[in-house]
């Protein structure tokens, strides 16, 4: 299962001076490997002047931890702490949480 994926923009695509936005998808189930995998793509987009948002879901089909899953909620919150410390992903314009 792929842990991340582009939703909108190829960083090498010419934009002809227009502003661009890319929304990237990251699953917490992918852990730090998913963060690192997405990190280089995000760095390339940001270096090209593209604004980047990252949507963070638990896994495909599950946006946030289930009600009553306190361990899952702790892991989900800690994942955002790790994102804030990540050298590339901390540079994004924002994170999308929930649907």
User: How many C-alpha atoms does 37 have within 13 Å on its Cβ side?
Assistant: 15
Residue 50 sits in which domain range?
32-97
Q: Could you give the number of structural domains in the chain?
A: 1
Chain centre to alpha carbon of residue 44: 14
The string of pLDDT tens digits covering residues 28-86 is: 999 999 999 999 999 999 998 889 999 999 999 999 999 999 999 999 999 999 999 99
Asked if residue 64 is part of any domain, the answer here is yes
pLDDT at 3: 38
Alpha-carbon distance of 99 to 64, in angstroms, equals 9
Q: Is residue 13 part of a domain?
A: no
DSSP string, 9-42: --TTS--TT---EEEEEEEGGGHHHHHHHHHHHH
pLDDT in tens, 53-67: 999 999 999 999 999
* Residue 23 in domain: no
Residue 61 lies in a domain: yes
């Amino acid at each position: 299962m792929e842990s991340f994926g582009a939703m909108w923009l190829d960083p090498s695509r010419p934009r002809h001076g227009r502003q661009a936005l890319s929304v990237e998808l990251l699953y917490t189930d992918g852990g730090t490997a998913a963060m690192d995998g997405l990190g280089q793509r995000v760095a390339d987009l940001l270096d090209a002047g593209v604004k980047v948002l990252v949507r963070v879901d638990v896994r495909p089909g599950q946006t946030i931890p289930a009600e009553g899953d306190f361990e899952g909620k702790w892991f989900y919150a800690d994942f955002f702490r790790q994102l804030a410390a990540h050298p590339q992903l901390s540079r994004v314009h924002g994170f999308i949480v929930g649907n």
